[in-house]
Amino acid sequence: MADGVRAALLAGGEGRRMGPLGHGRLKPLVPFGGAARLIDFSLANAEASGLGEVLLLSQYAERQLMDDLYRTWWRPGFRVHFGPYDRGYREGTGHLPAPPGGTPERGTADALIRKAPYLFGPGTSEVLVLHADHVYRFDYGPLIAAHRRSGAALTVAYQRIERAWVHLFGMVDFDAAGRLTAFVEKPAEPTSDLVFAAFCVFDAARLHHYLERLDGTDWQHDISRDVIPAMLAGGELILGHEVPGHWEDIGTVDRYHRAHLALVSERPPLTVGQLPCTIRPGVPREVVGSAPGVIRSLVPADLVNGGLLEHSVAFPGARIGAGARVRRSVLLPSSEVPDGADIDSAIVLEDGTVQSVAAASPRGGAGV
């Protein structure tokens, strides 16, 4: 782990905009890419970047999320820290303290405040803030190194996208020296084609100062809407760090669907080897250009296919009935397509429910 860096993962999303895909499951645990969940990307990035520990920031159904992450992401050299619940997991006692009282979290900044004793501990010089619903592979090492060299209070990751879609994200702009000059969350009239990639490195002391200053005021309790604008208004040195590769914010079911179709396109944004594997680890995956019953799809080795699968992504345990045809779709783990079914542009859930996808909507990240 990089000395002095505290990585914090914001994972409190309920997934209300995901429709049936989000019912009965936490958004960070929504399956993605054939063998992973959304949360696995930021964790895989952290581990590959040499960060041995990530602090979980979540209060929504937190026990369910912790139980899952304890099973999938606690291993020699890397683990997720559970704040006040961590000791119970480490000791294997199963004893967890009562959930904290008070008002519920109202935004991402509240998550930082609630876990402040575990976030701003002795020896913490920087705080790396990550999100649990972004799909990308990235080495945080150069970002942290550049932040330290600059002496900045904050370094934000950003990408250049088509201006037509900037209104979906946090818009940023920089001067000739690379200093942040504008930060507007979901602008109605974008003036820049640069967007905040929603991960960043704070100087720990400056972040703590602004959280204390904002707490108790009339604010929205949000990092993007409150903390960063307050730092900008306060004259802090805020720099940018470009994300050159693929980055995607999976905020809606349409973007979820489009992101999967991109994986089986002629030029996929991520290779099979870049996808984490936490759903039935060890089950091989392969991209099939053309094979009996399969045309350019991402499939598990245990796929049972009695029909035709085209330009789709199937998870382990998926079954396609005799004479069925599936196109431009996602088959979740252990889902079944009935004999003779004709499914196009949909997500087949574990219980067989077919969630149709509306007309394509813009997606974030490279190549928008």
Sheet holding 319-320, edge to edge: 304-305, 319-320, 336-337
Last residue of a domain, one of 227, 249, 271: 249
Residues 121-134 have a mean pLDDT of: 94
Q: What is the pLDDT of residue 99?
A: 54
The pLDDT score that the predictor gives to residue 300 is 93
> If you average pLDDT over residues 245-260, what whole number do you get?
92
Q: Is residue 80 part of a domain?
A: yes
pLDDT of residue 358 exceeding 80: no
249, 268, 295 — which closes off a domain? 249
pLDDT at residue 359, as a whole number: 45
Based on the domain organization, do 306 and 235 belong to the same domain?
no
The answer to whether position 272 is within a domain reads: no
What pLDDT shows up at residue 326? 98
Average pLDDT over residues 259-275: 94
Q: Is residue 266 part of a domain?
A: no
With a cut of 50, say whether residue 361 has pLDDT above it: no
Mean pLDDT, the chain, whole residue set = 89
Choose one of 249, 264, 296: the last residue of a domain.
Answer: 249
Q: Which is more confidently placed, 2 or 100?
A: 2
Mean pLDDT check: name the lowest of 9-13, 332-336, 363-367: 363-367
Mean pLDDT throughout 214-242?
A: 92
Q: In 3-state terms, what secondary structure has residue 53? A: strand
What is the predicted pLDDT for the residue at 367?
41
Q: What is the pLDDT of residue 283?
A: 78
DSSP state of 85: G
Query: Are 233 and 287 contained in the same domain?
Result: no
- 27 or 367, greater pLDDT: 27
Residues 316 and 187 in one domain: no
Percent of all residues in the chain with a pLDDT value above 70, rounded to a whole number = 91
Q: What is the C-alpha to C-alpha distance for residues 35 and 105, in angstroms, rounded to an integer?
A: 31
Residue 239: inside a domain, yes or no?
yes
* pLDDT score for 286: 82
244 with 284, same domain: the answer is no
Q: Label residue 78 by pLDDT band (50, 70, 90).
A: very high
Q: Is the pLDDT of residue 116 over 50?
A: yes
Q: Choose the weakest-confidence range: 146-150, 172-176, 197-201, 217-221.
A: 217-221
Average pLDDT over residues 257-266: 95
Q: Where are the beta strands (DSSP E) in 14-62?
A: 31-32, 36-37, 53-57
The answer on 245 and 287 residing in a single domain is no
Lowest mean pLDDT among 34-43, 89-98, 200-209, 227-236: 89-98
- Residue 36's pLDDT is 95
* Residues 67, 118 within the same domain: yes
- Say which residue the tokens 């330290």 belong to: 148
Percent helix, percent strand, percent coil in the chain, to nearest 5: 30, 30, 45
The answer to the question of residue 257 being in a domain is no
Q: What CATH number should be reported for the domain holding residue 107?
A: 3.90.550.10
| Tokens standing for residue 344 | 């196009």
Pair 300, 229 in one domain: no
Q: For the chain, what is the domain count?
A: 2
Residue range 153-174: mean pLDDT, rounded: 93
- Are 158 and 144 spatial neighbours (Cβ–Cβ below 8 Å)? no
Tell whether 334 and 215 lie within a shared domain.
no
* Contact predicate 83/55, CB 8 Å: yes
Higher pLDDT among residues 290 and 150, named by residue:
150
Cα dihedral value 165, 167, 170, 176, nearest 10: 70
Domain extent, residue 123, equals 5-249
Burial class from Cβ neighbours inside 10 Å (0-12, 13-18, 19+) for residue 326 reads buried
Strand partners for 249: 134
Global confidence as pTM: 0.92
| C-alpha Rg value of the chain to the nearest Å | 21
Say if 130 falls within a structural domain. yes
| Residue 363, pLDDT above cutoff 80 | no
Question: Same structural domain for residues 30 and 172?
Answer: yes
Residue-wise pLDDT for 10-52, tens only, equals 997 666 778 899 888 889 999 999 999 999 999 999 999 999 9
Does position 103 have pLDDT exceeding 60, yes or no? Answer: no
| Burial annotation 227-239 (CB, 10 A radius, 16+ → b, else e) | bbbbbbeeebbbb
pLDDT at site 100: 54
